[in-house]
Copies of this chain bind each other. A is one copy, B any other.
Amino acid sequence: MKFLIKKEDIFNGIKLVANVATMKNLQPVLANILLETVDENALRLTATDFDLTISTIVDAKIESEGKITLPAKKLNDIVSRLADKLISFELNSETNSVNIKCENAKFDIIGISASEFPNVLDINLSDENATDIDVKPFSKAIRQASFAAANFESNNLLSGVVCNINEETLEMASTDGNRLARVRKKINNIDNKSSQLIIPSKTTNEFLKMSSLLEDEKIKIYTDKTKLILKSEKSMMISRIMEGQYPKYNQLIPTENPKVATVNKNKLVSALELVSIMVNEKTSIVKFEFSENKLVLRGDTPDSGASEETLDIQYKNEDMTIAFNYKYVIEGLKNMDEDEVKIEMNTNLSPTVFRPNSDEDYISLIMPVQMR
């Protein structure tokens, strides 16, 4: 194998796939990126941890074909520091080492034979099962719907993001039991079939990183019983789908919360960050005291002291005091793009809804904390 490639092209390709390659795996080859010549002008880069595979094709001038796997971290370190020029790669297939040259710099980097790399790209894609998706709104929906997933081990369903496809809507949600994020989008569902997918949150996180690097405006989505495949013109992501029945989270969401406050989002985030200097680090509790057009936030620690900040808001209902883990509130707010947000409450123990003022499609629901 021998090829010439622009630094920028291989650098962007490595960025796209390298996160998936992990040294934590027992199989050393999974810390490597597979480099394969595709045709005279194209090189494919692939990384996998079995659950998730990302592959991308980059421009290159192939002088002789072949394939090899190289350690992702070392390869990235080398390429990122090389000059912005043509780089030559040449495999010595007897030693599995690749000679890299750029201007006056030379590297010999020892790889692992491509035959040890798992055969993860061997899948059948039939366009019958494909859906076209606009990248930007899809990424936004994933960002809003996925942050509430639990940090549990990866085989727990609550560590995933659930997608429910109904006749006219795509609904995505995540919950860890204390909070919930849900997004609804109208879609053009041609075959009118309902289905549910549970996607590992590692996949949604990697998709968010990947989508910011993609130039494509549209991607295709394919699903079968065990896999989700996202495909742009040059890149592809293949993810395991989680099996099981996701909890019926929509039952948790109150249909009517009679007490409604309207608050400036950025002011609320700043005030929470200020007040949080004086909260118990283990519980992260901030008290919200609502009265007519006024919100007082209070923090409190046994050893260090107390904090208080007052905000002008719109609120006409009866006075009430309710307490939240302020980190959950901030995470929900940071995923809202609008300046004004609504807080919809019932009692100080009922699930409370935070949502953008004019956007009914996205909610962040948070369970209040019982006050002593």
| Chain B residues closer than 8 Å to A71, beta-carbon distance | 304
* A110-B303, A303-B110 as given contacts; A105 in contact with B308, CB under 8 Å: yes
Nearest CB in chain B: distance from A102 CB, A? 10
Q: Size class of A's contact patch?
A: 20 to 34
Instruction: Tell whether, in the assembled complex, residue A97 and residue B305 are in contact, meaning their CB atoms are under 8 Å apart.
Output: yes
Contact across chains for A304 and B109 when beta carbons are under 8 A apart: yes
- Cβ A107 vs Cβ B77 within 8 A: no
Contacting residue for A274 out of B105, B271, B303, B309, CB 8 A: B105
Q: Which residue of B lies closest to A71 (CB)?
A: B304
- Name the residue of chain B whose CB is nearest to the CB of A296: B104
Give chain B residues whose Cβ lies under 8 Å from the Cβ of A140. none
Within 8 A of B (CB), among A43-84: 71, 74, 77-78, 81-82
A78-115 vs B, CB cutoff 8 Å, 1 = contact: the mask equals 10011000000000000001000000111111100000
Decide if A81 touches B274 in the complex (CB within 8 Å): yes
Cβ contacts A163-182/B at 8 Å (1 or 0 each): 00000000000000000000
Does A130 count as interface, using CB distance less than 8 angstroms? no
Q: Which of B77, B109, B271, B277 contacts A77 (CB 8 A)?
A: B277
Query: A: which residues have CB within 8 A of B?
Result: 71, 74, 77-78, 81-82, 97, 104-110, 270-271, 273-275, 277-278, 303-311
- The 8 A-B pairs with the shortest beta carbon distances in the complex, nearest first, are A104-B310, A109-B305, A106-B308, A108-B305, A108-B306, A77-B277, A105-B309, A110-B305
